[in-house]
């Protein structure tokens, strides 16, 4: 019910869903249809210098968060220039394409839901030829209301650490993609613990995936202890018990995904209040 790993650039290989419809597009999956996950396809995409894809239409929505370099994204007739820290949502059925006109590779974390099918399964990806790149790529300008479903993350944007309960203390959250932003199938956000804190044992009725952007954190997944540090990824399935114990003096922040989107209430079920019932009630 969980998976732990580290991103290794050596695992990048040509994206199997694109084939001859892309040049220089590589993919290193964290979790996908080959794992126990049923909702999430999550990993690193690389587009080499000079790389480009044809215009693509997919039967799932896609979120991307740029971690290195710059990439131009054609989406529904408009062209965006994304740089490190930028994020963008591609809704289901929207024509889009990527190209890299820089001299260095571009990399981004990609999340897709509903989970894309295997290349030899039911077809959920189509190609419509060369994208229309006539418009000049525009960098994200959050003051321009014509730019929708795009944003930029900066570590300094986090709110001060919050104390919610004895089970959740010392964290802050920067929401990126959710229903307000335009997402339907998943949430994407950054969690930060500035100095120690706790996110005690809990579970969810949805899947989560994580990619550590900086720092270190001790975790317990299904009773097994791990250390996650920058470049590590993890995944927890529905009902998997998990907890995070950030080390004092070691700030940590990670990109987090939830799919499907959580319910309005009771999205998190901390175990300690229910353990109280076990310890006090006699049957």
pLDDT band of residue 195 (cuts 50, 70, 90) is: confident
Over residues 93-121, the pLDDT tens digits come to: 999 999 999 999 999 999 999 999 998 99
Quote the mean pLDDT of the chain. 94
Clarify whether residues 185 and 112 are in a common domain. no
Say what the pLDDT of residue 116 is.
95
Clarify whether residues 26 and 115 are in a common domain. yes
Clarify whether residues 147 and 19 are in a common domain. yes
Structural domain contains residue 220: yes
Structural domain contains residue 279: no
Clarify whether residues 122 and 166 are in a common domain. no
Best CA proximity match to 2, nearest among 168, 187, 223: 223
Over residues 122-136, the pLDDT tens digits come to: 999 999 999 999 888
**pTM here?**
0.94
> What percentage of the chain carries pLDDT values higher than 90?
82
Task: Flag whether pLDDT at 65 surpasses 70.
Answer: yes
Clarify whether residues 91 and 223 are in a common domain. no
Task: Flag whether pLDDT at 282 surpasses 80.
Answer: no
Structural domain contains residue 136: yes
Structural domain contains residue 278: no
Say what the pLDDT of residue 160 is.
83
Give the ranges where the chain is alpha helix by DSSP (H): 272-280
Clarify whether residues 240 and 126 are in a common domain. no
pLDDT band of residue 283 (cuts 50, 70, 90) is: low
Over range 140-148, report the average pLDDT.
Answer: 87
Task: Flag whether pLDDT at 156 surpasses 90.
Answer: no
Say what the pLDDT of residue 197 is.
93
Task: Flag whether pLDDT at 254 surpasses 70.
Answer: yes
The last residue of one of the domains, among 116, 132, 152, is 152
pLDDT band of residue 177 (cuts 50, 70, 90) is: very high
The answer to whether residues 228 and 189 touch, using CB atoms and an 8 Å cutoff, is: no
Structural domain contains residue 245: yes
Over range 180-189, report the average pLDDT.
Answer: 97
Clarify whether residues 67 and 130 are in a common domain. yes
CATH code for the domain of 30: 2.60.120.10
Structural domain contains residue 283: no
Over range 242-247, report the average pLDDT.
Answer: 96
Task: Flag whether pLDDT at 278 surpasses 90.
Answer: no
Clarify whether residues 25 and 144 are in a common domain. yes
Clarify whether residues 100 and 174 are in a common domain. no
pLDDT band of residue 42 (cuts 50, 70, 90) is: very high
Structural domain contains residue 134: yes
The last residue of one of the domains, among 152, 179, 202, is 152
Number of folded domains in the chain? 2
Q: What is the C-alpha separation between 16 and 20, in angstroms, rounded?
A: 10
Best CA proximity match to 259, nearest among 202, 185, 189, 149: 185
Clarify whether residues 142 and 59 are in a common domain. yes
- For the residues of 164-208, what is the DSSP string, one character each? EETTEEEEEEEEEESTTTT-SS-EEEEEEEEEEEEEEEEE-SSEE
Clarify whether residues 122 and 161 are in a common domain. no
Over range 148-177, report the average pLDDT.
Answer: 90
The last residue of one of the domains, among 152, 171, 198, is 152
Q: Which domain holds residue 231?
A: 155-273
Over range 51-73, report the average pLDDT.
Answer: 98
Structural domain contains residue 235: yes
Clarify whether residues 217 and 186 are in a common domain. yes
């Amino acid at each position: 019910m969980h998976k732990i790993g580290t991103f290794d650039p050596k695992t990048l290989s040509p994206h199997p869903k694109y084939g001859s419809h892309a040049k220089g597009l590589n993919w290193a999956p964290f979790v996908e249809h080959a794992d126990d996950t049923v909702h999430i396809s999550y990993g690193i995409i690389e587009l080499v210098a000079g790389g480009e894809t044809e215009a693509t239409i997919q039967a799932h929505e896609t979120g991307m968060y740029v971690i290195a370099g710059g990439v131009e994204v054609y989406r529904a007739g408009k062209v965006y220039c994304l740089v490190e820290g930028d994020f963008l949502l591609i809704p289901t059925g929207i024509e889009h394409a990527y190209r890299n006109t820089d001299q260095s590779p571009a990399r981004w974390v990609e999340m897709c839901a509903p989970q894309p099918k295997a290349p030899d399964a039911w077809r959920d990806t189509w190609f419509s030829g060369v994208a229309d790149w006539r418009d000049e790529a525009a960098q994200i300008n959050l003051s321009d209301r014509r730019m929708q479903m795009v944003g930029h993350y900066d570590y300094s944007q986090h709110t001060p650490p919050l104390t919610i309960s004895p089970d959740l203390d010392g964290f802050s959250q920067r929401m990126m993609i959710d229903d307000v932003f335009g997402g339907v199938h998943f949430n994407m956000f950054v969690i930060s613990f500035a100095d120690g804190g706790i996110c005690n044992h809990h579970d969810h009725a949805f899947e989560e995936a994580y990619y550590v952007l900086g720092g270190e954190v001790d975790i317990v997944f299904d009773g097994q202890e791990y250390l996650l540090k920058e470049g590590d990824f993890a995944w927890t399935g529905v009902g998997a018990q998990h907890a995070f114990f950030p080390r004092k003096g070691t700030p940590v922040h990670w990109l987090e995904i939830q799919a499907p989107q959580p319910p309005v209430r009771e999205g998190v079920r901390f175990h300690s209040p229910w353990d109280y019932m076990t310890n006090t009630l006699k049957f």
